[in-house]
A and B are shown apart, each in its own frame.
Chain A
Amino acid sequence: MSHKTRVSRRRLLKQGALLVSTGFVLNSRNGFSQTTLAPADSTKVLGPLPSELGTRTPFESIKREVGRFDPDGYSLTPLEKLSGIITPSDLHFERHHAGIPSVDPEWYELLIHGLVDRPLKFSLADLKRFPSESRICFIECAGNGYQSSLDRSDIPEEVTPGQLDGMLSTSEWTGVRLATLLREAGASTRATWFLAEGQDAAVMSRSIPMTKAWDDALVVYAQNAEALRPEQGYPVRLLLPGWEGNSSVKWLRRIEVSDAPFMTREETAKYSDAKSAGKVELFTFTMGPKSLITSPSYPAVLPGKGWWEISGIAWSGNGKIEKVEISVNGGKSWQSANLHEPVLSKCTTRFTFPWYWDGKATIFMSRTTDDQGFHQPSVTEARKGRGPRTYYHNNVIRPWQIDNDGRITFGLKTLV
């Protein structure tokens, strides 16, 4: 803060709007100063001029929540602060194990080989020459929501929606169908699996069924209209709509077409699901239907009875969201929420519900059903075929608890 600004602020306290305006003008015609001090009358003040890159207003504070375990780490999308369905690109969640690689787009190549007529390498410019496609869809980590455990002692109460389910983001992705690239290489019709491998220092690899390649798998190079962010896989990543995030391999360097799964470390020792004693399930790709009320939520305190809009997001890897239902009486009765357009397949959908809160303690929650007939499980249903340590694919109903003083906390403990 410059001396001029500090002097201007002292004058404001003594004198009035015009002098403050002067201070503001002197310091900020070429850009916003890092201050949340607004002039008393903005119609009297010339403001900053146009700039090459926009910035958020200093009046809003929004950021990911970061966890670093060098070289491992994650960052969470602040879901409670967002409207609509799109995640701003710089708020997209992260999960990687060897840091973000720096890849020069001039030298980047994607190799496709294995059971193909001709192995091929594509540059980034090559990939952009193929017929392209755009799709708005979510990416969710399989481990998202692990805190909604079925073990009471593991369930937190003071947790925001972002802290609970923040490894979920939605973007418009643009790229070329993997099927188009496989045809270019002449992939064999007897191939049943392919390996996708990334070029970060973890060189992470996953086996994917070829049916997904022929279905809707994309090789993407754009995220929300611009080039992919480095954290999301610049310059090219695999995008498997509706499937667990780990399988949408970032910093994609290689596709190997085969007739058997490769049994990588990620799909065996990590992203497998222990269902009961001595039984572990392999290859659970699809993210199930889930809904989450993002507002009101912890740590909000409703000041009193009256109309408060319940707002949240719902998504399913199976297809479109068919309905979202809200209960404001602990599950005794349910009513339909409004779904905001567009309602897209394997994409987040915004829902809202006008709620007259009577000022009394209660539990409010949402549950969703997708257009393939699958629904978000209740606690009782969620217990079937999993235990508190099954860990992945946690999509049980997420209740919020409000007390007589309007204080809101995560309420799953009350149902488990």
Chain B
Amino acid sequence: MNSSVIHLFIRAAVKIVFLSTVATTICLAENPNLPERFSIGREPSSNEIALWDIDIMPDGKQLPSGQGTIVEGEQIYLQKCLACHGPNGRDGVNDQLVGRFGPDNDFANDKSLNKTIGNYWPYATTLYDYINRAMPMTNPGTLTADEVYSLVAYLLYLNGIVDKSTTLDAKSLPLIKMPAYSMFYWSEEVKDLVGTKNR
């Protein structure tokens, strides 16, 4: 390409960038008289954010330091969980936690099936997230990281997903493959909304 063509190219590119920026600003603001930013709100410190940023995603990147064992988990379960969830995670007044996965489980039709961690939870990290934020129901958010790891280990053990010698921590927990994982698929509705996603 000679220099005059390159020159035209650059001018066209600059025009496109400028016009799209202007267009974006107008579209985003919905009203050409309103600014993109109103300078309302304050910037929190990273400590403040960390206090609330308690979620654990399937990649487990935010799992805290700490570890848990089945033996410890059983002790905590007897004290803090059995009253609602029953001995061994069954026959309690609240949600059943233990039940084996079957590849032909028909949760759409089978009245005898209860949804449990073992047969219906696709991610072990969700177990950490949920117990940490919401359990025990009468005293939520009071468990230490070690206690949560131990309870997760114990519940996975009762569901036949890990063996008795397992120690769980930030590295090993995200690696656990839940037996029910294979059942779940994304709706067409959400695939339209976020684009096709490799699971």
Contact assessment for B121 and A268 in the assembled complex, using a CB-CB cutoff below 8 Å: yes
Report Cα–Cα, A295/B4, bound state, in Å: 78
A: contact size bracket: 35 or more
Report Cα–Cα, A185/B38, bound state, in Å: 10
Contact of A278 among B38, B104, B186 (CB under 8 A): B104
Tally the A-B contacts, defined by beta carbons under 8 Å. Answer: 171
What is the chain A residue whose CB lies nearest that of B120? A269
Q: CB within 8 Å of B: which of A267-288?
A: 268-269, 272, 274-286
Neighbouring B residues of A274 by C-beta, 8 Å: 106-108
Contact assessment for B44 and A121 in the assembled complex, using a CB-CB cutoff below 8 Å: yes
The interface size of chain B toward A, counting residues with CB under 8 Å, comes to 58
Shortest C-beta distance, A244 to chain B (Å), equals 11
Shortest C-beta distance, A307 to chain B (Å), equals 43
- A268-B140 CB under 8 A given contacts A120-B41, A203-B133, A280-B185: no
Contact of A121 among B41, B59, B130, B182 (CB under 8 A): B41
A30 touches B (CB below 8 Å) = no
- A277-B189 CB under 8 A given contacts A184-B37, A282-B184: no
Report Cα–Cα, A258/B190, bound state, in Å: 16
Contact of A265 among B59, B130, B184 (CB under 8 A): B130
What is the chain A residue whose CB lies nearest that of B186? A282
- A118-B40 CB under 8 A given contacts A263-B125, A276-B106: no
B103 touches A (CB below 8 Å) = yes
Contact assessment for B34 and A131 in the assembled complex, using a CB-CB cutoff below 8 Å: yes
Contact assessment for B186 and A283 in the assembled complex, using a CB-CB cutoff below 8 Å: yes
Contact assessment for A269 and B41 in the assembled complex, using a CB-CB cutoff below 8 Å: no
Q: Provide the B94-129 mask, 1 if CB < 8 A to any CB of A, else 0.
A: 000000000111111111010101001111011001
Contact assessment for B48 and A203 in the assembled complex, using a CB-CB cutoff below 8 Å: no
Report Cα–Cα, A260/B53, bound state, in Å: 16
B83 touches A (CB below 8 Å) = no
B14 touches A (CB below 8 Å) = no
A-B contact pairs, 29 of them (CB 8 A): A71-B138, A98-B140, A113-B44, A118-B43, A120-B44, A122-B41, A126-B41, A131-B34, A184-B37, A197-B52, A203-B141, A211-B193, A212-B193, A262-B55, A263-B126, A264-B129, A265-B126, A269-B115, A269-B121, A274-B106, A278-B105, A280-B185, A281-B184, A281-B186, A282-B184, A282-B190, A283-B187, A284-B187, A285-B190
Known A119-B43, A183-B36, A389-B108; further 5 A-B contacts with Cβ < 8 A: A113-B49, A205-B133, A268-B121, A277-B105, A389-B109
Lowest 8 CB-CB distances: which A-B pairs, in order?
A: A387-B108, A274-B107, A283-B190, A387-B109, A277-B106, A120-B41, A265-B130, A209-B193
Binding site for A on B (CB under 8 A): 28-29, 34, 36-38, 40-44, 48-49, 52-55, 57-59, 103-111, 113, 115, 117, 120-123, 125-126, 129-130, 133-134, 137-138, 140-141, 182-187, 189-190, 193-195, 197
Binding site for B on A (CB under 8 A): 71, 98, 111, 113, 118-122, 126, 129-131, 151, 183-186, 192-193, 195, 197, 201-205, 209-212, 253-254, 256, 258, 260, 262-265, 268-269, 272, 274-286, 386-390
